[in-house]
Structure 1
Amino acid sequence: MSTKTARIGAAELLDIVLDQGSFESWDTTPQQPPLSESYAADLEAARIKSGADESVLTGKGMIHGRPVAVIVSEFKFLAGSIGQAAVNRINAAITRATSEGLPLLAGPASGGTRMQEGTLAFLGMVAITDAVRRHKEAGLPYLVYLRHPTTGGVMASWGSLGHITVAEPGALLGFLGPRVYEALYGQKFPDGVQVSENLFRKGLIDAVVTPQELPELVERALRILQPSAVPASLPAPIGTTATSAGRDVWESVQISRNPRRPDTRMILASADDMLPLNGTGQGEKDPGLILALARFGEQRCVVLGQQRPRHPGTFSMGPASLREARRGMQLAQELGLALVTIIDTTGAELSAEAEEGGLAGEIARSLSDLIGLRSPSVSVLLGQGTGGAALALLPADRTIAAQNSWLSPLPPEGASAVIHRSVEQAPAMARAQRIGVDSLYGFGLIDHVVDEHEDAALQPREFAQRFCAAIAAEVSLARVIPEDHRLLRRQQKFQNLGTLGD
């Protein structure tokens, strides 16, 4: 027996999400277009049924003491449909939020644009989309909570543009409403597709949360997305002397492959704040990459971290990973956050699916995006750094390396197979190709080496804490690079690699 998702009204949602007594309405009497007698009757009935004067409520309030602008649909008012008066109300609220420098939380629940108003209401989605675009271009957060149900033009405009998008459990979410689909095509739409949990599995939304959980999630996001009221002093860099303590690079390669070695998840778990995101937002999710918002000290960042596969011999990055990474790069630019990329990979996926998915092109586009990124950036060599999968996340203003990390076009065994037709010369190839931190420092690539005290796997928590401190220090140094010099400095860094010798 299926259970129907309960619909929460706009006023009830605001009572749950906003601090008690903090809501201030921005709404004025809606100016409706010319009405037919039947449409006027529909509007009057909707007002009586819903207790609202239109299908959206707008205003501002506080969430855990943080000011936030809100736009919330009232589904009981003509199924939350958007007519010209609602378009004007939404646009006015977005514009005001932008002018007041407020983050914006949207909570749509709608069947789409209002059929009684036809094409003009439909065209209103363009104006709303433009208002959201301008809000985001101002560097202000736009957060979306998709409620049951959200379909049609609303889902295809302001419902799908969030920097962070989460959804109500069990909510019906999709472009074409199932009733319309059945009327048009004479058959039922497949079950389980247009449901929030499925959208999460497919990487279309970042989380599924109840209304009661939403305030904590919004507050966590804004702790990272918004600067502190009082800027902290810049931390001093630590551990910048490159040294392998006389260790042979082949020993470092073997240490980096220890499955107990700290990974991206442990680094993020040691951050001062962290909020995981999910997928590309375009229907893909690759477990080889972790996308998150994080704060290291007072440094607010988007983090793209390669996650080592649990089973040896498997590759850790496919084309969907890089499309997810490029979502993170765009977030960093739109929100004025620093970008941190964490490299720890056995190599890119080698498969027909990866080739057909455009892996090579995604590596190229990732490189291009990173070189041209307007945000401050720090790349991190955490462990293994093999091939194009590593190169795709490498370009940055500053680069940190763990003491036993390395970077090479192929794993040493692969390089040995190419040159010697055998993997037995892997140790010699690792030395000859100069893949270790001492050489990378000498090339001019690495700025900061984090000491492992022999092996990070022996003290994983302490190492992760040292690494987080290093990230905070290097992000602070990347931030002080003048914006008009940032891209030229990156260009010169990679053009001049190796000219200093090692």
Structure 2
Amino acid sequence: MTEPKTRHLSAAELIAVVLDDGSFSSWDQPVVDPDPDEAYRLDLAKARQKSGSDESVLTGEGLIRGRRVAIVVSEFAFLAGSIGLSAADRIVDAIERATRDGLPVLAGPASGGTRMQEGTLAFLSMVKITAAVRAHREAGHPYLVYLRHPTTGGVMASWGSLGHVTVAEPGALLGFLGPRVYEALYGKKFPENVQVAENLFNQGLIDAVVPPEQLPEIVDRALTILTGTATTPVAVPATMQVRPVPTGAWASIQISRNPRRPDLRQLLAYGAHDVLPLNGTGEGENDPGLMLAMARFGQQSCIVLGHIRPRPSRDTTMGPGSLREARRGMRLAEELGLPLLTVIDTAGAALSKESEEGGMAGEIARSLHELIGLRSASVSVLLGQGAGGGALALLPADRTIAAQHSWLSPLPPEGASAIVHRTTEFAPAMSEAQGVNVASLFAKGIVDHIVDERPDAAEEGRAFCQRMAAAIEYELSTLASVPVDELLTRRVSKFRAMGRRT
């Protein structure tokens, strides 16, 4: 028995599902066709009759959960959603209008690419569409993409792949080269289950796969984070008065290694609001060692990136792809004008052939390069373990918060002992001698704010995460009013002064 064919929404139907009832207002002006030959003239006439639309895209504005949003949606029934010169001009005009009006854009492509009947000029129109998207993003306005079935060719290779957040329709065919073209060119079928939304998610190319009826919730959550940062002062939390306790470095290290200790996932679950997980680099990598998300702590929105603690059934040691994903988060923070929160909790970066060939050392260097010059406020959190370059790569920030039993070391203490003593037996002594615990880090000006554990975060996960969240909200709020150039000067001076002897 064959499965029933899935019906995909038209442009008008998608608009009706996504926007608040009755809120859509069209921006479309009558199209001016190029000088078509008779065959193309008939194609256009048939497309208009079949689709009920005058072109392959509809544009306008409406409300999503009461929030004003510009919308650009493909109509696939019009010549397979192909983009000719008139459609391209309509898209550019809509994006430029949204930029002038300061509106976020939701793009919903469903297209076979550029229009073959209009040749090279239609093909080159992807450049001006991309330029409009770039200007919109550079102005700091959100550009959100919902990839629909199917999206291929020049559309996928331009305005379909430039979202700050990109989600896709379940089962959607998504790719550069359409499978029918591939078969015609190469005389064989394209491999199955490659150009589908779910596989793109697994490869770190898109952020989520959601049906159309869930799209309003996703858009609303994203825009709440991206446009909802408060400027009112936040009360000073009690943790600002916390001072180091006389716990030895080795004792803290052992406490930090408790598998029941809360990690970034629990911190977001218990301490943040409107969390929107992102997925992968957007460039074909999805490293399980790092989590990237948008979130709010209290009324303070931010981009969050941090280590994920390994689970027994899955190796989540941080590989070089983690830092490429982290740099995606750094770019988002700068472009959207949001602060960056980095969360450090790692036993060390991956030590493997794959890690070396993936350029781990270079990725650490590039992460440091981006963070020290980040044109956005930044807060780093030492949540648990902080070993080696994997920890260092996320550390530089304007302010650093530390959990009471977190630590920071050039290597796990066992590794330091092996280097100095050729055995791991001296790990406890090495950790004390190196001053890796919070008391030493606070004394040296590396840590600015300590969140106490009562007496161990593993025994009070929710309460600990809520205290940490309050500390994060406070630090983000204190940085919100500081000009970026001043933050950069302070940040560089802070790290330049560490360890200097006068």
- Is 1:149 equivalent to 2:177 in the alignment? no
Matches within 5 A, 1:13-92: 13-92=14-93
Name the SS for the 2:213 alignment partner. coil
- TM superposition shift of 1:445: 1.0
Matches within 5 A, 1:460-499: 460-499=461-500
Name the SS for the 1:212 alignment partner. helix
CA contact (8 A) 1:243 1:437 kept: no
Name the SS for the 1:239 alignment partner. helix
Taking a change above 3 Å as real, the CA distance of residues 449 and 17 of structure 1, as seen in their structure-2 partners, is same
Per-residue CA deviation, residues 96-124 of structure 1 (Å, 9 max, x unaligned), is: 00000000000000000000000000000
Higher mean Cα deviation, 99-108 or 420-429?
420-429
CA contact (8 A) 2:244 2:442 kept: no
- TM superposition shift of 1:244: 3.5
Taking a change above 3 Å as real, the CA distance of residues 471 and 374 of structure 1, as seen in their structure-2 partners, is same
What CA distance in whole angstroms lies between the structure 2 residues aligned with 1:313 and 1:287? 9
What CA distance in whole angstroms lies between the structure 1 residues aligned with 2:278 and 2:333? 13
- TM superposition shift of 1:312: 10
Matches within 5 A, 1:368-407: 368-407=369-408
Partner amino acid, structure 2, of 1:265: R
> TM-score scaled to structure 2, two decimals?
0.97
- Is 1:335 equivalent to 2:336 in the alignment? yes
Per-residue CA deviation, residues 13-36 of structure 1 (Å, 9 max, x unaligned), is: 000000000000000101111111
- TM superposition shift of 1:487: 1.3
- For structure 2, the residue ranges without an aligned partner over 5 or more in a row are none
Equivalent position of 1:169 in the other structure:
170
Matches within 5 A, 1:81-480: 81-227=82-228, 231-241=231-241, 243-270=243-270, 271-311=272-312, 316-480=317-481
CA contact (8 A) 2:260 2:458 kept: yes
Higher mean Cα deviation, 421-430 or 206-215?
421-430
Cα-Cα RMSD: 1.5
- TM superposition shift of 1:5: 3.7
What CA distance in whole angstroms lies between the structure 1 residues aligned with 2:478 and 2:438? 21
CA contact (8 A) 1:285 1:324 kept: yes
Name the SS for the 1:428 alignment partner. helix
- TM superposition shift of 1:316: 2.0
Taking a change above 3 Å as real, the CA distance of residues 306 and 178 of structure 1, as seen in their structure-2 partners, is same
Per-residue CA deviation, residues 190-212 of structure 1 (Å, 9 max, x unaligned), is: 00000000000100000000000
- TM superposition shift of 1:387: 0.1
What CA distance in whole angstroms lies between the structure 2 residues aligned with 1:289 and 1:426? 27
What CA distance in whole angstroms lies between the structure 2 residues aligned with 1:272 and 1:153? 37
Partner amino acid, structure 2, of 1:405: S
- TM superposition shift of 1:181: 0.4
Taking a change above 3 Å as real, the CA distance of residues 22 and 152 of structure 1, as seen in their structure-2 partners, is same
CA contact (8 A) 1:416 1:423 kept: yes
What CA distance in whole angstroms lies between the structure 1 residues aligned with 2:114 and 2:316? 45
CA contact (8 A) 1:240 1:448 kept: yes
Alignment identity in percent?
66
Per-residue CA deviation, residues 440-477 of structure 1 (Å, 9 max, x unaligned), is: 11111111000111101111000000011011011112
- TM superposition shift of 1:315: 6.2
Taking a change above 3 Å as real, the CA distance of residues 277 and 227 of structure 1, as seen in their structure-2 partners, is same
> TM-score scaled to structure 1, two decimals?
0.97
CA contact (8 A) 1:315 1:350 kept: no
- TM superposition shift of 1:2: 5.9
What CA distance in whole angstroms lies between the structure 2 residues aligned with 1:314 and 1:48? 55
CA contact (8 A) 1:385 1:405 kept: yes
What CA distance in whole angstroms lies between the structure 2 residues aligned with 1:3 and 1:484? 59
- TM superposition shift of 1:239: 1.6
Partner amino acid, structure 2, of 1:197: E
What CA distance in whole angstroms lies between the structure 1 residues aligned with 2:47 and 2:15? 20
Name the SS for the 1:52 alignment partner. coil
Query: How many residue pairs are counted as aligned between the two chains?
Result: 500
- TM superposition shift of 1:499: 4.4
Partner amino acid, structure 1, of 2:251: E
Partner amino acid, structure 2, of 1:253: I
Name the SS for the 1:240 alignment partner. helix
- TM superposition shift of 1:313: 12
What CA distance in whole angstroms lies between the structure 1 residues aligned with 2:361 and 2:398? 24
Name the SS for the 2:240 alignment partner. coil
What CA distance in whole angstroms lies between the structure 2 residues aligned with 1:313 and 1:242? 36
What CA distance in whole angstroms lies between the structure 2 residues aligned with 1:479 and 1:220? 21
What CA distance in whole angstroms lies between the structure 2 residues aligned with 1:461 and 1:39? 64
